[in-house]
Chains A and B, each alone.
Chain A
Amino acid sequence: MQANDAQTLVLCALSNGPLHGYAINTAIEELTGTRLGPGSLYGALTRLEAKGLVESLEEVDRARPVQLTTKGRQVLEGELRAMARVAAAGLRGLGVNPA
């Protein structure tokens, strides 16, 4: 996965708790400045659900929220740590303080 990968962004958006599709996209917009297209968003959710990284909750007001599974949390943490290491190394190489 990459930082701008739709699946990573969805996992990041869900790190604060369960959200439904529209709310996930709003969280991604706050994070990156742009929304995912509906096709990309629901395509990513389908893949994440198939991999067992997110799961659906009971329907609330015709919207069905999804949340991270334990495996999803572990995968996200691993990905973010790897990205942080790469980002820190890159910034050090550029002579920029990572903090």
Chain B
Amino acid sequence: MNPVRMLLRLHPAAFRERWGAALEADASAAGRRSWPGLLANAADLWLHPVIWPAKSAAQRRHRAAAAAFTLTLATWFVDRAGTANDPRLTWRAHRTLNVTECAAFMLLGVIMIMPLPRPTRQAATTLLRRTLRALAAPAVLFFAELILVRALTPAAHSAAHPLIAACYWSTLALGAVQTSRIVGTISTSAVTPPHPTRLRLGIAILATGCALTAFISLSSTTTGHGFDAVSAASGSGMLLLTAWFLTILRDVNEC
């Protein structure tokens, strides 16, 4: 495949539909020196879904909500990895706060940013069908693992522990991806995007929750038994996610 076309395919579909033909012609004329710029542009666009070409302001708000929801799931996923590594994070007070409370606080932000289902039977049917289709595979995997774990003897359980852990994390990741796809791809005929004020407030809450979780993870890095690399990695990851939340908030304010 033509390298320019390959780089173009890395861009979001909305951008390709709007500028794809012109960009391909210009990039082909410019030659190889345009390739790094195309790659950087593709990465930049994925970091800023709110600025993608849109038909309306409501579509931009829907994209912002979907992106913030995806980041929240990523935060909870990293959070879960951190607490699995160090269960004390869930109860260790760090004086006043623990990661479970931060996750609950972020739930408030999720409620605020979520597109609301339209009060029609058709919308309810569409949502239900979409949800069942998307979550069927992770649900089946989850129950299969549950049955398998209960059926294993303690000796077999400890022997198969790495495999069970891998299945658990894969199922969790698949469930997160599928859930964020439901929010991101659901038709606007079934849901209404959040009001701008509600969206801004919701994203601000999510950014705050994520930053607090990052703080708790990072502050536990050097306590206990020396340096904890997993806490450091999860804390740093959550700081990056906080920056991403703030980027979305800035884009919502500007657009």
A contact residues vs B (CB 8 Å cutoff): 20-22, 25, 35, 37-43, 45-47, 49-52, 62-64
B124 to chain A, nearest CB (A): 33
A49 to chain B, nearest CB (A): 7
CB-CB under 8 A from B27, the residues of chain A are 38-39
CB-CB under 8 A from B34, the residues of chain A are 37-39
| Size category, B interface | 20 to 34
Name the contact of B50 in the complex, choosing from A35, A50, A63 (C-beta under 8 A).
Answer: A50
Q: Assess the A46–B22 pair: CB atoms within 8 A.
A: no
Which 9 A/B pairs are nearest by Cβ-Cβ distance? A39-B41, A39-B37, A37-B37, A50-B51, A38-B26, A38-B27, A43-B41, A39-B38, A21-B22
- Asked if A64 meets B22 with Cβ closer than 8 Å, knowing A37-B34, A46-B51, A46-B53, the reply is yes
CB-CB under 8 A from B45, the residues of chain A are 43, 46
CB-CB under 8 A from A20, the residues of chain B are 22
CB-CB under 8 A from A52, the residues of chain B are 255
> What is the CA–CA distance of A63 and B22 in the complex, to the nearest angstrom?
7
Interface centre among B26, B34, B52, B53 (most CB of A within 10 A): B26
B53 to chain A, nearest CB (A): 7
Contact with A along B23-59 (1 / 0, CB 8 A): 1011100100110011111101100001111100000
- Asked if A49 meets B53 with Cβ closer than 8 Å, knowing A38-B30, A38-B37, A39-B38, the reply is yes
Between-chain CB contacts (< 8 Å), 17 pairs: A21-B26, A22-B22, A35-B30, A37-B33, A37-B37, A38-B27, A39-B41, A39-B42, A40-B41, A42-B15, A43-B41, A43-B44, A50-B54, A50-B255, A51-B255, A62-B21, A64-B22
